[in-house]
Amino acid sequence: MQYLGGKAGEGKRIASICSERLKSPDQLFVDMFCGSLNVVRHVSHPNRLAIDACGPLIVMWKAALDGWVPPCTVTREEYGRISQVQDPRDPMTAFVLFGCSFGGKWRGGYAKDRPGQRYAECASNSIRRKAKDCKGLVLEHNTFQQKHPGCWPPGTVLYCDPPYQGTTGYKAIEPFNSDAFWFWASQHARRGVHVFVSEGRDVPPEGWDIVDVQIDDQGGRLKAGPKKPRIDKLFTYIEANRRTG
């Protein structure tokens, strides 16, 4: 399924790096901005939690994990009707407004099929594959602000792929406060949580370091203007690593 900012190409590598911190089956892996599940699907661990601030998205994933199969065709008329209603309880809402929208952007406009590219069919197949990889996954609709430091035990591995600072957000959620997020992530790290954050910034925030860099040579639109290669960096909190080893 196309998803704005999704980690389709990088998910397996990110999951491998995060999994190095999962030493015990009793630990918890948390994907805080789970989006299209491109990271958590590659984490082989019995205790996995995926959270997102977009309610309709979580409804869709819960339905898929329960056996719901999305359709392989969506007409322009169906897209328009669902876009107008936006029923948060209907799994079709997120399926259509992400998976059948141009560029995978929420209500980004109906993505018309072209030779070799059938959007609804591609999204449906992707969701079914991920549902198989995510059996046993716990899903939660929530914001990072509601997950206060101390809510997860020390040793938890927390991966975050928040909206990148300075990039286009989407209207499915409220505007994102990057400064508040980085403060929140640091607070969790100081309580013994292993925190990894994907971002595109050049300079790490204070107390953080880069552990991996990935370049999307297909190009991504970071802001208005020509496309350019997207550079994703994976950060972790330095002081927390020194204390927990």
Per-residue pLDDT of the chain (245 residues; tens, 9 = 90+): 566 666 778 899 999 999 999 999 999 999 999 999 999 999 999 999 999 999 999 999 999 999 999 999 999 999 999 999 999 999 999 999 999 998 888 998 999 988 877 999 999 999 999 999 999 999 999 999 999 999 999 999 999 999 876 555 556 667 789 999 999 999 999 999 999 999 988 888 899 999 998 766 544 433 444 556 667 899 999 864 544 44
Query: Of 185, 136, 184, 193, whose CA–CA distance to 22 is shortest?
Result: 193
pTM for this entry: 0.88
Determine whether 127 is exposed, middle or buried from the number of CB atoms within 10 Å of its CB (0-12, 13-18, 19+).
Answer: buried
Domain coordinates of the chain in residue numbers? 1-53+142-245, 55-134
Domain spanning 1-53+142-245, CATH architecture: 3-Layer(aba) Sandwich (3.40)
| Contact of 232 with 214, CB cutoff 8 Å | yes
Cα–Cα distance list, 172 to 55, 56, 71, 129, 175 (Å): 9, 9, 22, 24, 9
